Amino acid sequence: MKARLRAAAAALILGGLFVGLLAGVRDLPPIGDPSSPASTHVSPRFIEEARRETGALNMVTAVLADYRGYDTLGETAVIFAAGLGAFVILAASIGGPRRETPGPGLSHRVDSLLLDTAARVLAPFLLLFAVYVLVHGHVSPGGGFQGGVLFGLGLVTLRLVWGPPRPDRAASRFGPGVRASFLLASAGLLAYIAIGIAAMAFGGAFLDYGVLPLGQDPAHVRELATLGVEAAVFVAVSGTVAVLFETIAVGVAETGRPLPNEDPAPVEAREEG
């Protein structure tokens, strides 16, 4: 009875939300209307001036890394926060003591000729393409995040097939690989902040790239600095992707060993699947 009441209440609220949203969107300017406020206020400057003001052909990159570069710093912080959180939640001892018996699943090398060969062929292209996506962000779809995710996934591909970077320390719960990735992630975020503060040191506002002494043409200077912050984002994101993968993979693989603040005795009854 109680459950039915709850379901009825939920249906009512959700139905109300849906109807309310539909009523709301009917009032918005029609989709594609070139005279809508979104198309005529603020955004024209990004379209018409981005090339001259920031040097970027890709207007999305110009807005992302320059006009609204502060959002992108926040975005980098968010992704780093996720890596940090996963690390706190799942990492017991970083580079900790050796484990006596090899763990199951992802903590050791998979012996398969097929996988090994495929990884050897695919990985270099994946990693190279990631860098291409990064540096080409100015003129085509791409940028630090997209490239960083690709690079991180390239690392994960290798990690999946080859096992941890130091097989002799495969047993250590968080080996040098994840440590390095984590350091990389924090270095990326720090580099972004450093670029922002450097601009302040040269008399501009935070992240005001134009004042940096990198050349004569301000648009060109901004273009260079944009590449700099995109690279910082790239490093932070690829590091975090690797950290997230590693902590989650090891967290699953090492089920049964206590984590920090975890009860030593695991629950007996486990469900299947």
Partner 1 sequence: MIEALAGLLVALPLAGAALMPMVAVLRRRGTRWLAFGLHLLTFAAAAAVFARTAATGEAIAHRMGGWPGPFGIELRLDGLSALIALLVTGLSCFVASAPVDASRGATRRASPVREGLVRGALSMLVAGLVGIAATRDVFNLFVFLEISSLAVYTLVASGGGRATVAAFRYLIAGTAAGSLYLLGVGFLYGLTGTLNMDDLAARLPGVEADAALTAAVALIAAGLAIKAALFPLHGWLPDAYVFAPAPAAGFISAVMAKVSAYALLRLLGETLRGIPAGAMALETMVWLGTLGVLVGGGMALAQRDAPRMLAWSSVSAMGAILLAVGIGSPLALAGALFHVVAHALAKGCLFLGVGGLAETLGAGDRRALRGLGRRAPWTAAALTLAAFSMIGLPPTAGFSSKLLLLRASLAEGGPAGVAAFVALLASSGLAALYFLRVLEGIWFRPRPEGRPAQRLPRALAAPVLSLAVLVLLGGVFSAVVEREFVSGAVEAVAGATADER
Partner 2 sequence: MTPYALAAALFTLGLGGMVLLPNLVRKLLAMNVMQVAVIVFFIALATKDGGRVPILEPGETEAIAADFMNPLPHTLMLTAIVVSVATTGLALGLLIRIWRQYGSLDERILLSRLRGSGDDATRHGAGDDATRHGAGEPPR
Which residues ranging from 25 to 44 are in contact with partner 2 (CB under 8 A)? 25-26, 28, 30-34, 38-40, 42-44
Q: Could you tell me which of 101, 18, 91 has the C-alpha nearest to residue 260?
A: 91
| Alpha-carbon Rg for the chain in angstroms | 24
Q: Is 86 in the site for partner 2 (CB under 8 A)?
A: yes
Toward partner 1, which CB reaches closer, 81 or 139?
81
Stretch that binds partner 2, among 49-57, 167-175, 196-204, 210-218 (CB under 8 A): 49-57
Picked from partner 2, partner 1, none, the partner binding residue 209 (CB below 5 to 8 A depending on kind) is partner 1
Q: Which of residues 114-153 bind partner 2 (CB under 8 A)?
A: 139-141, 143, 145
The answer to whether residues 127 and 134 touch, using CB atoms and an 8 Å cutoff, is: no
Residue 140 C-beta: closest distance to partner 2, Å: 7
Toward partner 2, which CB reaches closer, 225 or 233?
233
Q: Is 8 in the site for partner 2 (CB under 8 A)?
A: no
Give phi and psi for 215, each to the nearest 5: 160, -175
Candidate residues 79, 133, 134, 195; the one interacting with partner 2 per rule CB under 8 A = 79
Toward partner 1, which CB reaches closer, 55 or 154?
55
Q: What token pair was written down for 182?
A: 């984590």
Q: Which of residues 177-236 bind partner 2 (CB under 8 A)?
A: none
Alpha helices for 91-213 (secondary structure H): 113-135, 144-162, 176-201
H/E element holding 4?
A: helix 2-26
Q: What amino acid occupies position 223? A: E
What is the distance between the alpha carbons of residues 204 and 216, in angstroms, rounded to a whole number? 16
